[in-house]
Amino acid sequence: MTVLLTLPVLLPLLGAALSLMLGRRPDFQRVIGLTVLSGVVVITAVLVYHTDTEGPVVLQLGGYAAPFGITLIADRLASLLLLVSAVVTLAVLVFSIGQRVTDYGRETASTTFQPAYLVLCAGVSLAYITGDLFNLFVAFEIMLSASYVLITRRTTARRVRAGMTYVIVSLTSSLLFITLVALVYAATGTVNLAALSLEFRELAPGVQTSLALLATVVFGIKAALVPLHFWLPDSYPTAPAPITAVFAGLLTKVGVYALIRIHTLVFQSDTVWNVLLVVSIVTMIVGALGAIAQEDINRLLSFLLVSHIGFMLFGLGMATVIGLSGAILYVVHHITVQAALFLVSGLVTRRTGTVSLREMSGVAKSAPLVAVLFAVPALNLAGIPPFSGFIAKITLFRAGAESATVWAYAATAAAVLTSFLTLYAVTRIWVSAFWGAEREPFPDADPSDEVTVGTGLTNRPMVFATSVLVLTGIVISLAAGPLSAMSERAADDLLGGEQYRSVVLPQGEG
């Protein structure tokens, strides 16, 4: 089982190296990518079952005991997110193979996409399973290095500007992160998370609060919390649909995962819990208001992405088992739903040749399947029952009611308002893009890969990949009972921390 723990990182890295060597054989590249990510899905599914029934899986690399060596650990939360992320990355790769493009489906993609994409997948996996702060930094740098390549491919003036914003903000965040690592090591003498959870308690209260707030800023930038979110709506919409989808589905959630892991295991502070609640309120409202003001479909979805990060922060700020359970449910739900919506956006812009809602109409008549693929995740995101978004929100509302504090009530009210604003925003997309008179589809230079759907043509792999993600969201809804129970067990593990420390540290130190 410990060998399986390394494979979600090693397989994509080996696949990236092999894919890079076969740069002139794109067909082989595709086979490698699909094989590697399919294997990762199977492996992570095994890890989910094992961690939920047998407990965390731990590997001390090189045989050096913690806290001196490098620790890899998968518990319930990490393995669950590994599985959902693997499904999303596989579906997005299938979509990108069908698209073969940079924008509206009309340009051939270069062969650098697949190696960079697999490196990104390896970085995401490492972020989930690393057991120390420094290697979490390494994981983020792996992701960012790959994302720099992906977001700046096929450069235009607009994409260069957006890429510069993304790179500058990411580098600033990285500098703050390495500063955090240095300060933590100077104060405690370790960067191992399990050991830190013990050493941190011995620090002066002022030092604890300062380090916790710095960690919040570092991971808040990566998770796009308001007011640290400004880079995301300017960067993500300029990238091709599959890249935007995987960024929106995974990169911000890795930041949220880091916030959950760090603040529950190490930086526990009542002051920080209240700060997180306040930030969650602002993030939900500002993101939703920003969304309804947009005319670009991708910018609208990007602001909704920012807004719904606030729901996850709301659950974390509760610092209760039910609140964390709701946050975990919301992360799992949002990864699939947000990625699916950006893939649908790719299908819509492929047909219309534009991202402007003012210039779209009638897609429901020309491509009714695409309309269905939008409607399901849109309703899910808005929290309409019986979808998983509704179940996650009800869990969060319950946590707010049980907490019975002013900030908890305020966050609950903000979450309700944001849900209505989200419904209004996705309704705007529906009315503008899908209703109205049918327009002539944007011409395709290579229609040989198209399949007739209704009265129009749609790309087979792109529709298949999007359908898989939409169905995954439905499966999450159907499995809400077992998933909620597992999320509650994961939340209990997070707040306690004893199990994490006992399996990582030498006997007697946990």
The confidence score (pLDDT) of residue 168 equals 87
The rounded Cα 401 to chain-centroid distance in angstroms is 27
Contact 288, 425 (CB under 8 A): yes
The ranges of the chain with pLDDT < 70 are 100-111, 153-159, 162, 437-458, 507-510
The confidence score (pLDDT) of residue 80 equals 95
Contact 400, 412 (CB under 8 A): yes
Question: What CA–CA distances, in Å, run from 492 to 312, 315, 364, 392?
Answer: 16, 13, 45, 17
The confidence score (pLDDT) of residue 101 equals 52
Phi first, then psi, for residue 56 (nearest 5°) are -60, 150
Tokens of 346: 């790719």
Question: Is the Cα dihedral 138, 342, 375, 98 positive or negative?
Answer: negative
The confidence score (pLDDT) of residue 457 equals 44
Q: CA 279, CA 284: separation in Å to the nearest integer?
A: 9
Q: CA 278, CA 129: separation in Å to the nearest integer?
A: 29
Residue type at 190?
T
User: Which distant-in-sequence residues (6+ apart) come within 8 Å of 382 by Cβ?
Assistant: 389, 419, 422, 423, 426
The confidence score (pLDDT) of residue 126 equals 95
Q: CA 184, CA 207: separation in Å to the nearest integer?
A: 10
Q: Is 266 helix (H, G, I), strand (E, B) or coil?
A: coil
Q: Is 101 helix (H, G, I), strand (E, B) or coil?
A: coil
Q: Is 57 helix (H, G, I), strand (E, B) or coil?
A: strand
Q: CA 42, CA 84: separation in Å to the nearest integer?
A: 11
Q: CA 329, CA 388: separation in Å to the nearest integer?
A: 8
Using the 8-state DSSP alphabet, how is residue 62 labeled?
T
The confidence score (pLDDT) of residue 454 equals 42
Contact 19, 11 (CB under 8 A): no
User: What does the DSSP assignment read for 324-389?
Assistant: HHHHHHHHHHHHHHHHHHHHHHHHHHHHHS--BGGG---HHHH-HHHHHHHHHHHHHHHT-TTSHH
The confidence score (pLDDT) of residue 111 equals 65
Q: Give the pTM.
A: 0.91
Question: What CA–CA distances, in Å, run from 384 to 122, 306, 380, 390, 424?
Answer: 34, 19, 6, 6, 12
Q: CA 309, CA 414: separation in Å to the nearest integer?
A: 13
Q: Which of 80, 11, 9, 5 is nearest to 39 (CA)?
A: 11
Give the N- to C-terminal CA distance of the chain in Å, as an integer.
22
Q: Which of 332, 487, 323 is nearest to 398 (CA)?
A: 323
Using the 8-state DSSP alphabet, how is residue 189 labeled?
S
CB atoms within 10 A of CB 23: 14
Question: Is the Cα dihedral 113, 119, 122, 126 positive or negative?
Answer: negative
The confidence score (pLDDT) of residue 269 equals 76
Q: Is 192 helix (H, G, I), strand (E, B) or coil?
A: strand
Using the 8-state DSSP alphabet, how is residue 446 labeled?
-
